């Protein structure tokens, strides 16, 4: 009987891949509205598809649609990798960015990391996939009442920056 239990336990352990065991605290957020949303006033209806909405910003409305996330305690005081993916489009100058920040309730910033889309978007007025990541050090991810913010921004340049199909994955490193 002990051998059967032992073999069953080994089978269960080996059924999980190495990657799954390494990232046991992975938080995969397919952000389509489940979390607290920020900057919702930047969401517009797609003129070519009435069932689709996306975020559109420019240098006057600098902060785009995003999320305010309360991380579980199991991810606090840990080094995190935040992977961002989306479909993006710029109309005049490619100056848009994605921002990952950790803020206290009074909005004091504990961490600010940004990723420009310019390295991946080479064509204007065309939707293109974007994917990049930001590392948050454990010291900048304290076990206090703080929130993770993820959003898009455009501080310089002309035209508009559009973001659709915005997804985020948070992984403990």
Residue whose structure tokens are 């559109």: 56
pLDDT tens column, 83-139? 999 999 999 999 999 999 999 889 999 999 999 999 999 999 999 999 999 999 999
Distance (Å, whole) CA 98 – CA 6: 48
Which residue from 55, 122, 50, 130 is spatially nearest to 86, judged by alpha carbons?
Answer: 130
> What's the distance, CA 115 to chain centroid?
11
CA angle, residues 125, 36, 134, in degrees to nearest 5: 60
Q: What is the pLDDT of residues 8-60, one digit of tens each?
A: 333 333 334 444 434 434 555 554 434 567 888 899 888 988 888 899 999 99
For tokens 């990952």, name the residue: 100
Strand partners, 162: 56, 89
Does CATH number 2.60.120.260 belong to domain 25-172?
yes
Decide: 166 and 53 in contact? Cβ < 8 Å. Answer: no
User: What ranges do the domains of the chain cover?
Assistant: 25-172
The rounded distance, in Å, linking the Cα atoms of 4 and 72 is 36
pTM of the shown model: 0.78
């Amino acid at each position: 009987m002990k051998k059967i239990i032992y073999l069953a336990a080994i089978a269960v352990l080996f059924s999980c891949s190495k990657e799954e065991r390494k990232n046991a605290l992975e938080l995969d957020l397919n952000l389509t509205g489940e979390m607290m949303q920020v900057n919702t006033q930047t969401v517009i209806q797609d003129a070519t598809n009435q069932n689709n909405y996306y975020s559109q910003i420019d240098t006057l409305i600098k902060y785009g649609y995003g999320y305010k996330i309360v991380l579980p305690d199991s991810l606090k005081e840990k080094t995190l990798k935040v992977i961002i993916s989306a479909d993006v489009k710029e109309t005049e100058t490619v100056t848009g960015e994605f921002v990952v920040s950790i803020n206290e309730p009074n909005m004091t910033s504990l961490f600010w990391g940004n990723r420009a889309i310019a390295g991946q978007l080479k064509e204007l007025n065309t939707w293109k996939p974007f994917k990049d990541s930001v590392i948050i050090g454990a010291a900048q991810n304290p076990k206090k009442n703080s929130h993770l913010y993820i959003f898009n921004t455009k501080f310089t340049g002309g035209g508009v920056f559009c973001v659709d199909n915005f997804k985020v994955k948070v992984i403990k490193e």
